[in-house]
Amino acid sequence: MGVPAPHQRPSPGSPAATMSPPLPGTVPPALVLEGLTKAYGTHPAVVDAALTITTGQFVALLGPSGCGKTTLLRLVAGFEHPDAGTITIAGRTVLSPWSPGLPPEQRNVGMVFQDYALFPHLNVEQNVAYGLGRSPARAARVAELLALVGLDGMGRRLPHQLSGGQQQRVALARALAPRPALLLLDEPFSNLDAGLRQVVRDEVRRILRHEQATVLFVTHDQEEALRLSDLVAVMLDGRVVQVARPREIYERPASRAVAAFVGAANFLPAVAEGTTATCALGQLPLARPASGPVELLVRPEMLELAADPAGTHTVAACSYTGADLLVDLRLAGGPLVRARTPNWLDVAPGDRVAVHVRGPLMSYPFAP
Amino acid sequence: MATLDRALTLSPARPQPRRRRPWPLLGLGALVVAIVVLPLGYLLLRSLEAGPDAWAALLRPRTITVLAGSAALALSTAALATLVALPVAWLTVATDLPLRRFWAVVTLLPLAIPTYISGFAMVAAFGPRGLLQRLLAPLGVERLPEIYGFGGALFTLTLCCYPYVLLTVRGALRRCDPAMEEAARSMGDTPLTAFFRVLLPQLRPAIAVGALLVALYSLSDFGAVSLLQFDSFTRAIYMQYRGSFDRSGAALLALLLVLLTLALLALEHVLRGRPSMSRTTCAVPRPRRLIALGWWRWPATLYCAALSILGAGVPLGVLVYWLVRGLANGQELVSLWRAAGHSLLAAALAAALAVASALPVALLAVRYPGRLSRLIERGAYLGYALPGIVVALALVFFGANFAPALYQTLPMLLVGYTVRFLPQAAGSVRTSLQQLNPRVEEAARSLGRGPLAVLGTITTPLLAPGILAGAALVFLTTIKELPTTLLLSPSGFPTLATLVWGSAAEAMFARAAAPALLLLLLSAMAMALVVAQERTAAS
């Protein structure tokens, strides 16, 4: 499901997402943030953040440690109070400059914490039932969720009797039980070891799709964000700098900073003129017209190498990672770039190679 | 990289959110502090009204001598108790001492024995015509070393108080990373030199806290020093209060004692050194490999045994001896059960009241840190630093003038206990609250429950062990407490403590033995709860 995301290409410092009021008869967005700002003393944690999440979307909030993404999540949940901004959840304004803000329990937002935060004195069933009140459907809902997360039969166990992966599934079931308008996940996979993480990710995605949940999840793992989500919001230094689909984020980063953070990147100095740019790799097509001194974004896998004694570029170093070979190239003009090639390429430091660059390139104004 | 990121995300360096304090909590905290601070403020005012006679009495050489004697006793007891307790702490935590767990519990037993019972046991055992002298008489021993005075008080108080140092040091020792000592050993230290060069400096803050507790305890002690006829300042205050109509004279003396207490606190602050030392080294350590004592385990066992016998065995033996002798001579046990009922009632109510008052204070301090919360916490801890006789006097004055309806009633007595022992409950609740992940409470909020519902369904059940331990600690100290009970008890409300005191002060040992043994039994049961909690917290 999910409405296709609008292409948004904001520049850093300006509000990232444009907001349109819901048309009559349509479902309001699950979450709308506008101008959200929060500082701890003099340290700004979240600056003028804007974001819109359509009902049913799975959105990743991606950023390095300390960029303010967990703070943003806690502001949405109501555990912290912003200095400025508006939060609208499922069409209901829960916080605006002229209201004190709804407390967490009235926001209809579920949250799965990084350390799960299960209630240690309650068993699995009681944990899941905690948010359900006294409705008669309570027992049925608990059973349904436990079956969904694959924990049927474990309802009477206490949290400390479960493995890490099981604890996480309890936390997920507990947060989903009251059918929140929005589910927040804070670094949900960071406490699991690498092998388990792969399995759990796909499992969680399946569960959340089955429940048709609208999800905002925080991660610092780019691969996780690109792989799992419909939409990725990149956050750097407290600002939401780009909101777009995964392919767009990786292939058309809105700024040099986004390009540098998401995936590996070479930046080649070049001079642009209209739809092409000239650099140490020759004249290359641009994705968007530009002019003057620029830096070109060249992802390592965009460089195709071929051993060629007559080639103009030299292999400076190689490292073998299994499937791939990482090759550091000394280009004819002097700069060093890294290429990622399949492991069958047989080159050694000192060899000469020919280079072909795939696809049009993104360029960013050169800032010395 | 990912692990580094994770370590950074989980590090506590993340800025602590400042949350707005809910006003009902703030109101409750302020109320608790008001109850603690108001009587003491009134004591201060009252002492300023003291007549010229009282001021003159204050400056008499005799006053100064008594004050100096009390200070000397407090400092000597702290020093001696530290010397006595340190080896026991090290032996029971770090070595393969035979029956290690047994000694770990038995050496704590003096905590359950009130000083006035120890005092009377020491007199009965080692005094003139005491048990020891009668045993030794056939051997031609005519006189024993004098038990009355400074020496006897020091001896008795050390045996009563050393467990305080033992507890704090043992806790710190358990938290210390044995890797430190291993590093020292790999660089050529023997176990003993490693202890002095590496371990001891790390234990300094814990030693300072333990010694401070001992010093405060001896400074405020009233029972043992009176029975051992040492001229202490607390005794002087009591005499002044009982013996003259000008009660502001007693207030003035009490204030002087408060000043001495403050001086001790300042001294501890200096001695404690930089607190960072204890924090950096006390992560979650590996279990420690025990040091083999070899031949030394026999003198070590002997040491623990001797200490336990002197501290717990002698008082118990003396009490049993006098009970049997008293019963043989037709001593009656009539009022015993009534007094025991009063003791139980007062201690249980005081424990409940102290824990209830501690909850808002601890919640503010841990969940809503800030200047105001700190102020409230400091205020609530004031009773810790003040001798019981001062707190009791303050409440007597305050009650007589502002709440005559409450004066000499059970509620007033309970307020006195609470002011005195609130810090014990608050400390206990605070520690367990700090161990409670705030995310757990937030999870409950996001599942649709309001703050009060979360307090009831999540916070309180999870705090239950800490609350219980705090209550047991308050119960233990309350049932032992003498000066507050003596001054604030309603008339016709005898407790075990006042019963023991009344008989012991007149050297009627046979009459004191039965209530004293019953008191020991009750406080030993409360202590078992406290020790069990220390165990689970350590594991």
CA distance B211 to chain A (A): 37
Residues from chain B that touch A100, judged by Cβ atoms under 8 A, are none
pLDDT digits (tens, 9 = 90+) for B277-297: 433 333 445 667 777 788 888
Interface contact B446-A133, CB threshold 8 A: no
Dihedral, CA atoms, B220, B224, B226, B228, nearest 10 degrees?
A: -140
* For residue B497, pLDDT beyond 60: yes
- A114 contacts on B by Cβ (under 8 Å): 9-10, 439
More confident residue, B353 or A197: B353
Q: How far is CA B89 from CA B93, B108, B166, B180, in A?
A: 6, 11, 6, 18
Provide the terminal-to-terminal Cα distance of chain A, rounded to the nearest Å.
45
Closest CA to A313 of A338, A293, A296: A338
* CB-side neighbour CA atoms (13 Å) of A95: 26
- The closest CB to that of A40, out of B6, B15, B446, belongs to B15
**Nearest alpha-carbon partner for B493 in B351, B388, B341, B333:** B341
Encode pLDDT of A308-350 as tens digits. 888 889 999 999 888 899 999 998 877 889 999 988 888 889 8
Residues B252 and B128 in one domain: yes
Decide if A105 and B446 are in contact by the 8 Å CB cutoff.
yes
Q: Give B255-293 as a DSSP string.
A: HHHHHHHHHHHHHHHHHH--THHHHHH-SSPPPPPPBP-
Residue A16 has a pLDDT of: 38
Q: State the pLDDT confidence band at B19, using cuts at 50, 70 and 90.
A: low
Which of B15, B20, B439 faces A115 most closely, judged by CB atoms? B439
Nearest to B447 among A64, A174, A190 (CB): A174
Tokens matching residue A17 = 């997402």
- How far is it, in rounded angstroms, from Cα B195 to Cα B502? 47
Complex confidence, ipTM: 0.78
What Å distances lie between residue A94 and A74, B301, B343, B441, CA to CA?
14, 68, 54, 21
B163 and B53 belong to one structural domain: yes
Are the beta carbons of A69 and A218 closer than 8 angstroms?
Answer: yes
| Interchain contact, B446 vs A77, CB within 8 Å | yes
CB atoms A111 and B442 under 8 Å: yes
Q: For residues A111-137, give the mean pLDDT.
A: 88
pLDDT tens readout for residues B409-462: 899 999 999 998 998 888 888 888 887 888 999 999 999 898 889 988 999 888
Distance from CA of A149 to the nearest CA of B (A): 18
Residue B42 confidence (pLDDT) above 50: yes
Nearest CA in chain A to B449: A105
pLDDT at A19: 43
Quick one: average pLDDT of B520-532?
Answer: 84
Does the CA dihedral A160-A161-A162-A163 come out positive or negative? Answer: positive
What is the rounded average pLDDT of the residues A7-22? 41
The beta-carbon neighbor of A119 closest among B9, B440, B450 is B440
Find, in chain B, the residue whose alpha carbon is nearest to that of A117: B440
Give how far the C-alpha of residue B101 lies from the chain's centroid of Cα atoms, to the nearest Å: 23
**How would CATH label the architecture of A31-108+180-260?**
3-Layer(aba) Sandwich (3.40)
Q: What is the pLDDT of residue B270?
A: 77
Same domain, B349 and B251: no
Share of chain A above pLDDT 90, in %: 49
Q: Report the pLDDT value the prediction gives residue A327, as an integer from 0 to 100.
A: 93
pLDDT above 90 for B178: no
Whether A130 sits inside 8 A of B461 (CB atoms) is no
Same domain, yes or no, for B198 and B347?
no
Same domain for B46 and B162?
yes
Would you list the domain boundaries of chain A? 31-108+180-260, 264-365
Query: What mean pLDDT do residues A192-203 have?
Result: 81
Q: How confident is the model at residue A300 (pLDDT cuts 50, 70, 90)?
A: very high
Q: Is A69 on the interface with B (CB under 8 A)?
A: no
- A118 to chain B: which residues are within 8 Å by CB? 440, 443
In this structure, which topology does domain A264-365 adopt according to CATH? Answer: OB fold (Dihydrolipoamide Acetyltransferase, E2P) (2.40.50)
User: What tokens does B220 get?
Assistant: 């405020």
- Interface contact B15-A114, CB threshold 8 A: no
Rounded to whole angstroms, how far apart are CA atoms B394 and B410?
16
Give the distance from residue A317's alpha carbon to the nearest chain B alpha carbon, in angstroms.
Answer: 22
Which residues from A are below 8 Å from B17, CB to CB? Answer: 40, 74, 79-80
For A161, which DSSP code? G
Angle between helices B410-434 and B23-48 (to 10 degrees): 130
In sign, the C-alpha dihedral spanning A24, A28, A34, A36 is positive
- Tell me, what CATH number does B482's domain have? 1.10.3720.10
A105 and B447 in contact by Cβ < 8 A?
yes
Residues B270 and B354 in one domain: no
Percentage of the residues of chain A whose pLDDT score is greater than 70: 93
* pLDDT averaged over every residue in chain A: 86
Q: Which domain holds residue B436?
A: 331-539
Q: Domains in chain B: how many in total? A: 2
pLDDT at position B282 is 38
Same domain, B238 and B372: no
